[in-house]
Structure 1
Amino acid sequence: MPTILLLILSNVFMTAAWYWHLRGGMDKPILLVILISWGLALVEYCLAVPANRIGYSGGWSAAQLKITQEAIALIIFGGFMVIFLGEPLHWRHAAAFLCIMAAVGFLFTGK
């Protein structure tokens, strides 16, 4: 469970680092945006690295850690896209998410 919680928190910071400037930050100088994003990414790394170490030492494979991170990233980004950026969800988003969930299922089957 610590692995999942840390991955969720790291993805919140990762999404913010990559996309915060798309709404209200487009007029800021690109160097400032990059520096702010690096700061956010530092927090993301400080959460993701322990998440992966804890998960790996707990018996998760690297592939399981990566696909779980991708699934969490899609959930976080979907919420960010709708709530922060005001973009609508479409059936294509659900279909893509289901494909990722199928990948998660494949990697955890038989574990």
Structure 2
Amino acid sequence: MLFVNPVLTTIVLLTCSNVFMTFAWYAHLKELNNKPWIIAALASWGVALLEYLFQVPANRIGYSVMSLGQLKILQEVITLSIFVPFAVLYMKESLKLDYLWAGLCILGAVYFIFRSEIH
């Protein structure tokens, strides 16, 4: 069962959370670009509420087995993993080599924040 493993549960919930948050932060640039900013803000807040329904339990579960720093770096890895396909597929941005470099920097952060677990 998925909810038996707190790390896997955290990853799944943070992934769902990040999908909603990415849409809350950026989809209005495409979908509501011609609407007043207050409409975009209200729509984004509605989507962000859904994000919090996944994020809060994810962080509570994750914090039971990870440090706060590990939880944050995990979230950043997931964020970039969601953002790049969103930018390329949904927003029709070009795929840039800079995403690779950013990913490598985050992998360095993963190493440093989790290295005590590795040794």
Q: TM-score, normalised by structure 1?
A: 0.95
Is residue 11 of structure 2 the alignment partner of residue 4 of structure 1? yes
What secondary structure does 1:110 align onto? Answer: helix
Q: Does 1:93 align with 2:93?
A: no
Partner of 2:76: 70
**1:110 Cα deviation from its structure 2 partner:** 2.3
Structure whose residues are more often helix by fraction: 2
| Structure 2 counterpart of 1:20, one-letter code | A
Provide runs of 4+ in structure 1 moved above 3 Å. Answer: none
Q: Which amino acid letter does the alignment assign opposite residue 55 of structure 2?
A: A
Structure 1 match to 2:5: none
- Residue aligning to 2:35: 28
Deviations 1:26-74 (A, max 9, x none): 10121111111001111111111110100111x2000000011011101
**Residue of structure 2 equivalent to 1:46:** 53
Unpaired segments of 5 or more residues in structure 2?
A: 1-7
Flag structure 1 segments of 5+ consecutive residues without an equivalent: none
Give, in whole Å, the separation in 2 of the partners of 1:24 and 1:33: 9
The letter for the 1-side match of 2:49 is L
Counterpart check, 1:61 vs 2:67: yes
Between 1:83-92 and 1:5-14, the stretch displaced more is 83-92
- Give me the whole-angstrom Cα distance separating, in 2, the residues matched to 1:41 and 1:77: 15
Question: Residue type matched to 2:98 in 1?
Answer: R
1:18 aligned residue:
25
2:44 corresponds, among 29, 33, 37, to 37
What TM-score, normalized to structure 2?
0.88
